[in-house]
Structure 1
Amino acid sequence: MRFQCFLLPFLVLFSLTSYCQKKVLFAKSTTSNITIDGKINEAAWTENPEIASNFIMFEPDNGKPISEDKKTEIKVLYDNDAIYISALLYDSEPNKIQKEITNRDVFGVSDHFSVSINGFNDGQQDYTFYVSAAGGQMDCVATKDGEDYSWDAIWDSEVSITDFGWVVEMRIPYAALRFSNSQKQTWGLNFMREVKRDVQKYTWNHVDTKIGSVTNQAGILEGIENINTPTRLFFIPYTSFYYQKNELGSDKTFKAGLDIKYGINDAFTLDAILVPDFGQTKFDNAILNLEPFEQKLDENRPFFTEGTNLFNIGNLFYSRRIGGSPSSVPETAANEEITNYPSTVDLINAVKVSGRTEGGLGIGFLNAITEKTYATIRNTDTDEYRKEVIEPLTNYNVLVFDQRFNQNSSVSFVNTNTTRNGGFRDANVSAALFDLSTKANSYNLYGDLKYSTVNDIENYDGIKTSLNFAKTSGKYRYFLSGKYISKNYDINDLGIIFYTNYHSAFANGSYRIVNPTKFFNTFKIEQELNLEVQNTTGKTQEGWYKTSIKATTLKNNYVEFLFQLNPLDRFDFFEPRVDGRFVYIPKSATVYAAFVTNQNKAFTYEIESAITKFDEDQRVTYLLNGGVKYRFNDKLSLAYDFQYTKKLNDRGWVAFDNTDIIFGKRDREILQNNITGKYAINTKMTLNLSGRYYWSYSDNDTFFTLQDNGYLNPNNEYSLNKNRNFNSWNFDLSYSWWFAPGSELSVLYRNYTQIGSNNVEKNFHANLKNVFDADMTNIFSVSFRYFIDYNRVKNKF
């Protein structure tokens, strides 16, 4: 008995050591012709390739071995062009396998299988390929910072549902991967299986959720030798037709262009877009913007969303600057008026080069050129017209160097440059960043130093720096941060920033469960403190304490609760719209709650609400958001959601009156309704519906004059109408057919309108009627894109 007690600690230690070792799988070479049909009936699959099995639960009960009724077996083959993967996913109840049909990169309510490949085996970046039980494809580039689904590769997969579960067969060409040119390849590898109805995920190599990073917890793939990778050269010609009509008339437009993707070597890829066409991109969500800053818009143009993870390092690149609004407004005389001011600038062409060497050095270069743009000005006395340049020929550059090391650390250099022809404004920003993690991913230290220069009528420069330290593993974690931003730090020519000229300190502490309990699958509670102080005056710009609780129940419903207290008097240095002026913001408290039902059910709903009470004259903000979704079957689903905000006795800037800054006490309501629908004819062909109605008003009942001390004094003399009433409507109905890998035919019908007024109409139905009575712009378009692989064309001839 004593001997057993003595031996027990060593047995436990040995078991844990074995458990944490990386699994190794050997790929087998084949010369057979493998047809990707989800049947796995070729002889090559039975000629003794190794089997990857014994999966381990990733979530919710991390570390639990997979049950026998969900046994999973994977095999890997390779030839000179691609690797091949077969997966047998056993399920004792195959009739319950979830298999919703979705668009590409949309997971939906389906079981999934994935493979993650790191061609350099450095734990830094995975190329992950998902297949749903319905046959849908999803792919992404994964790092420790998250997953980038804007990246799309060309690869083949098929699935079949069987009486024992389901089967996956995949072909991933080497052109979709990045790896060294070594004779013998050693890749990082992991497989994942998701059983949707049970909300469970399993991985082949154990991934410990107590550790923050996932990418460096993969297994190893060996056996791939002596492969000669093909030339990575792809052409994507396109053509499109647009017919637009409104009350002013109609117009027809025909466009044609070409995208090029070229693999410079095994690591680097060049993407070029010639004669761009973004006419079918998703519409922008227009709002009534009463803030002192511009509205930040989502990027919907494929060239600027696909494979841009390198360019987003340092948060210096806001791609909507390229082809965005003109940078200047023409000066006009008293007898002149602007009759035409383009809202955007046309893009001439763009190119990007990106990749990562075997030594972990990532290099990214992006260049774009926009054309000279004019405004038209009319002389009201002579009725003569003239044109003035509002945006010259402009060149945009982004350059990134990102050196990764020790699997989970990096140092980076980023430079962005905007050069406008002639005497217009130029700008340059440079940044040095570091991100250091311990080998076990228990602690993380990262920070940056950024420097901006602007050459304009007045030249100026500025800096931004921060230092952050975090414990990133275990049940108890914390995060500490300090930041300094100078007054003239300005990245807005190719980036976007709103708040400058302050220094701040932030602290976060959290506790989470890492395995389910008798009440929760997941649970996390966080405490936060934040303080921001304006550099020039030393006044508090922001200061709050926050407690939040986030949990998932055993029935996989999500709940969240938040309490935030702003116990300090604060001052806003941007709302007055004048440099050096500021306005008082009173103390406040916010309570927030949210509930989301299990998203795997056919009928789901979610609701969130919040109340913010200010220590000022019945000033309060209410928020209520909600939504419902019904999945009629695996092909058809419909969803509706709304966002509603009401601000009572709000304060905000309304106008300048000579040297006075006028504020208003106002009531505001904001209502947005969204409806989305999907009908999937099959995995290659879908119909999609998207509609949005937005209504907001601002109703001022009292005016104030801003004093030098930041407080407001009543102004009984100012009486101009500064009320606003705004409506926006967008509707898209689209048909998409992916008739070949990377090739798409899409048909889109779109209509939209926007109307604004100084007369507030508080009746919802009256506003909705006004929208549909307004001049609608209707667009019908057809776009055809065809993917050409140089190697396939070469082989045919």
Structure 2
Amino acid sequence: MLSYGQKKSIQAQVTSHTISIDGKLDEPAWENVPIATDFIMLEPDNGKAIPYEKRTEVKVIYNNDAIYIGAMMYDNEPSKILKEISQRDNFGTADLFGVFINGFNDGQQDFMFYVSAADVQGDCIMTDANGEDYSWDAVWISKASLTENGWIVEMKIPYSALRFSGENKQIWGINFFREIKRDRYKYTWNFVDRKIGTFTQQAGTLEGIENIKPPTRLFFMPYASYYLNASDGQKTYGTIKGGMDIKYGITDAFTVDAILIPDFGQTKYDDQILNLGPFEQQFNENRAFFTEGTDLFSKGNIFYSRRIGGAPSIDPSLNENEEITELPAAVNLVNALKLSGRTKDGLGIGVLNAVTEKTFATIKNTESGETRQVIVEPLTNYNVLVLDQRFRKNSSVTFINTNVTRNGHVRDANVTGLAWDLNTKANTYSLYGNVKYSMINDIQDKNGVYSTIGLAETSGNYRYSIGSDFVTKDYDPNDLGINFYTNYYNFYGNANYRILNPTKRFNTFRINYNMYTEFNKESGKLQDNSVNANLNLTTVKNNYYGTGITFYPLETYDYYEPRAANRYVAIPRRIDTWGSISTNYNHKFAIDLNGTFNVFDQSDRLTYGFDIGPRYRFSDKLLLNYFFSYIRKNNNKGYIDQIDSDNNATTPNDIIFANRNVITYSNTLGGKYAVNSAMTINLAVRQYWSYADNKDILILDSNGDLNPYPQYTNNKNSSFYSWNADLSYSWWFAPGSQLSALYRNNAANFERVIDKDYRHNVAGLLNNDALKHIFSISVKYFIDYNAVKNKVRKRA
């Protein structure tokens, strides 16, 4: 068995033969090609050789267009090979083969290509810092087929899907992967030692690729969409949209992506909640342009792409007897462009630029009926620049800058950061951190600093980390980033133990111990203090169990919930506990169970809840899953209002809290039917209801205590309920080309009067005129400039 630092090598063989990607490996080009074999277990029994009866043999050939991978996965029980058909990038319960390629052989970033035994593709970009990013999609061809001896995968990966230098003689980092799903055993060709805190640096090498002349990397993806909307008894027909995405390879390593006339109408809906806290709800990014290949832009954690095309940034001012009759929920994106890549010397460059249009709100005078329009978002430019220098194959220093420029005398913003991730040669210790500086140009300028530093041991059974953050009061990256907490400094540490090889009872076993302490930077008051221990394990039958407990042994002070400068509310001591069970998904029936119980050192104040998520796989084509969540907060204390204490705006406001019960229900139903590996029908339904029932009104004292305030009589109860349902059809009819149809209905409502009849609540929402129905169909087609050029030449 190889030890850490030793690398296997395989020789690629050039071919002039035509290769048909049919999962058979019967062309002459595959004969007499060197074989990569002798796979070694990654997990659970790290380092154990693969049994001979399940041996894996991989071959690599190439030409000027692409690299070809042929793999034979032997299995002495072929009838037991799991092969659930699923969507792209979601392999379900199926055996898996993968190839991981690093064109620069620098141990920093792998391009991963997977094929399941059900012939489903998946691809991602992998870094040790960020893990696997499946939002990245490449255009490549593969075919899997079952045989009497196991199964075969044949892959064609065009050079356009990779990044490498322009040298005549190529040496790439490469590893091959196999998962035998029924056993949950994972193997790699080159040994990956789990005692070492890195994956990408433990690849083998691919040699023999020489004098290739990759074609021009120019791709067009035109698309057209049709939308039919219905709500309030009104229908709109004939809404047609069209546009194009363009990808152009400036060099072998750098690519420009541009989106012209964007259309995000089929983007997944947001899971909105009743947000009673002082901060906005953070949403996932579901727009493909802002998720694909954006690993560089995540450096420093100052870029939140949902700001682009998000809600307007200016609140319109109203005169007496005026009301807002139309306020767009989001700003339209005009166009966007991104450039990314890495030089042979390890310098990664990322540039993202986007422009959003000028946006207006309509305001109506309730007496005269006259209307006027006011700007709520001017023409705005968003820009991100990243320079990431890698060195010694396992370390990096990164410069990041984000900038928002709004047309006219409106708020502009800039954030600049320097981040570092330094690792020892043996990958046993890591020193990481960053310094970020924000500048806001507005009516009143403000500048702020965020800095962090940490040290971690990253190898072995026992590992630890320590670190500290320092954030000034005026640090504000929120024009193109997202950050909630400022004006503090903290100290934190972690120690953990894990097994690296299975025992008689456990495949995995890990215990964590965490400590965290945070102080307000100006007052020195304790804002947070916790001690946590948790246990996570997987049994030899691949059932997961987890539990944890967190102690908050001291009273702390929350400077955010009062929503006023220099005010705070005292948070009592408390204990939080949780437990979790997830049974083996290999079984047709599996279930997830989660429970929480939190008790406060305050009369009758506690929180408890549970989740239950059964799932059933009827066949390799049909899967249904359901998830129910219930959370109850008894005697929760939270902000509801501010009032002028003496009708004088120059004096501090009285801050009003409520003693309330907060109850939340959530039901989610998901389903998938796969016609084949290229065509699926998917169902996603979410019903959500949360309400806050105020029992007693409280006023916040200057010392952070809450006292009764019965003279406040405004109704500040909250009830928010929503419904979202998506039924979609997806067909990948050609490489990179997709037809999708979507039927969606959704509704949401917020009220101050709480209707506690659950059935009546849900039925009222579905029968409400606010329920919107949308049907859309979209077609995008991938066009390779070289394929078009070759066809034209042949006809000529």
Per the TM superposition, whether the score is higher than 0.5 is: yes
For residues 616-662 of structure 1, what are the alpha-carbon distances to aligned partners after superposition, in whole Å with 9 as ceiling and x for unaligned?
11100002012011000000000001221100000000111222110
Aligned to 1:654: 640
Residue 224 of structure 1 corresponds to which residue in structure 2?
Answer: 209
2:331 aligned residue:
345
* Aligned match of 1:110: 94
Residue 786 of structure 1 aligns with an amino acid whose one-letter code is Y
User: How far, CA to CA, are the matches of 2:629 and 2:304 in structure 1?
Assistant: 26
Q: For residue 134 of structure 1, what is the aligned residue in structure 2?
A: 118
Counterpart among 554, 560, 575 of residue 574 in structure 1: 560
Distance verdict in 2 for CA 1:16–1:136, change over 3 Å: closer
The answer (yes or no) to whether the contact 1:233–1:263 under 8 Å persists in 2 is yes
Kept in 1, the 8 Å contact 2:5–2:202? The answer is: no
Equivalent runs, 1:89-488 vs 2, <5 Å: 89-145=73-129, 146-247=131-232, 249-252=234-237, 253-488=239-474
State the Cα distance separating 1:725 from its structure 2 match. Answer: 1.3
- Unaligned 5+ runs, structure 2: 645-652
Q: Please give the per-residue CA displacement for 1:704-751, whole angstroms capped at 9, x wherever unaligned.
A: 111111111110111111111111000000111110011111111000
**Residue in 2 that maps onto 1:677:** 671
Q: How does 1:418-567 map to 2 (within 5 A)?
A: 418-567=404-553
Q: Is the 8 A contact 1:193 1:203 kept in 2?
A: yes
Structure 1 position 381, deviation (Å): 2.2
CA contact (8 A) 1:503 1:532 kept: yes
Q: Is the 8 A contact 1:447 1:468 kept in 2?
A: yes
The equivalent position to 1:74 in structure 2, one of 50, 54, 58, is 58
Distance apart, 1:764 and its partner CA = 1.7
Q: Provide the rounded CA distance (Å) in 2 between the counterparts of 1:451 and 1:383.
A: 47
Distance across 2 between alignment mates of 1:139 and 1:379: 55
Question: Which residue is equivalent to 1:727?
Answer: 721
Identity %: 55
Q: Which amino acid aligns with 2:287?
A: R
Q: What's the CA shift string for 1:661-696, capped at 9, x where partnerless? A: 100000010111110000000011110000000000
**Cα offset, 1:20, TM superposition:** 5.2
Distance 2:28 2:178 in 1: 25
- State the partner residue of 1:5: none
| Corresponding residue for residue 33 of structure 2 | 49
Identify the match of residue 778 of structure 1 among 766, 773, 781: 773
Question: Structure 1 residue 769 and structure 2 residue 753: aligned?
Answer: no
**Structure 1 residue aligned with 2:43:** 59
Which deviates the most, 617-626 or 487-496?
617-626
Q: Distance in 2 between matches of 1:344 and 1:174?
A: 38
Corresponding residue of 1:616 = 602
Indicate if the aligned counterparts of 2:682 and 2:729 stay in contact, CA closer than 8 A.
yes
Tell me the CA shift for residue 248 of structure 1.
5.1
> Counterpart in 2 of 1:796?
791
Alpha carbons 2:439, 2:447 under 8 Å: kept: yes
Q: How many residues align?
A: 781
Q: Measure the CA separation in 2 of the matches of 1:286 and 1:516.
A: 41
1:628 correspondence with 2:614: yes
1:771 alignment partner, SS class:
helix
1:585 aligned onto 2:571:
yes
**Aligned position for 1:754:** 748
Q: Which whole-Å CA distance do the structure 2 matches of 1:423 and 1:657 have between them?
A: 32
Give a deviation string over 1:149-201, Cα, whole Å, max 9, x none.
11111111001100000011111111111111111100001000000000000
Q: Is contact 1:20–1:206 with CA below 8 Å preserved after alignment?
A: no
2:2·2:191 contact (CA, 8 Å) conserved in 1?
A: no
The Cα of 1:763 is off from its aligned counterpart by 2.4
| Residue type of the alignment partner of 1:110 | A
Quote the Cα distance in structure 2 between the aligned partners of 1:298 and 1:579.
30
Task: Find the aligned partners of 2:712 and 2:538 in 1 and give their Cα distance.
Answer: 53
Alignment equivalent of 1:715, drawn from 698, 709, 728:
709
CA contact (8 A) 1:755 1:774 kept: no
| Alignment correspondent of 2:648 | none
Q: Say if 2:58 and 2:71, in contact at 8 Å, map to a contact too.
A: yes
1:42, distance to aligned residue in structure 2 (A): 0.4
The answer on whether the counterparts of 1:434 and 1:448 sit within 8 Å (CA) in structure 2 is yes
Paired letter, 1:781: S
Distance 2:588 2:334 in 1: 46
User: What secondary structure, in the 3-state scheme, does the structure 2 residue paired with 1:666 have?
Assistant: strand
Per the TM alignment, residue 762 of structure 1 is displaced from its structure 2 partner at its CA by 2.0
Deviation at 1:608, TM superposition (A): 0.7
CA distance, structure 2, for counterparts of residue 772 and residue 379 of structure 1: 33
Aligned-partner SS, 1:202: strand
Matched position secondary structure for 1:205:
coil
SS at match of 2:201: helix
Greater mean deviation of Cα atoms: 353-362 or 652-661: 652-661
Contact 1:392–1:421 (CA<8 Å) still a contact in 2? yes
CA positional deviation for 1:16: 6.3
SS of the residue corresponding to residue 169 of structure 2 reads coil
Q: Deviations over 1:420-475 (max 9, x none)?
A: 01111000000001100011110000111100000111000000001100000000
Q: Partner amino acid for 1:83?
A: I
Say which SS state the counterpart of residue 637 (structure 2) adopts: strand
Matched, 1:88 2:78: no
**Gapped regions of structure 1 (runs ≥ 5):** 1-14
Partner-residue secondary structure (3-state), 2:170: coil
Question: Partners in 1 of 2:316 and 2:55 — Cα distance?
Answer: 69
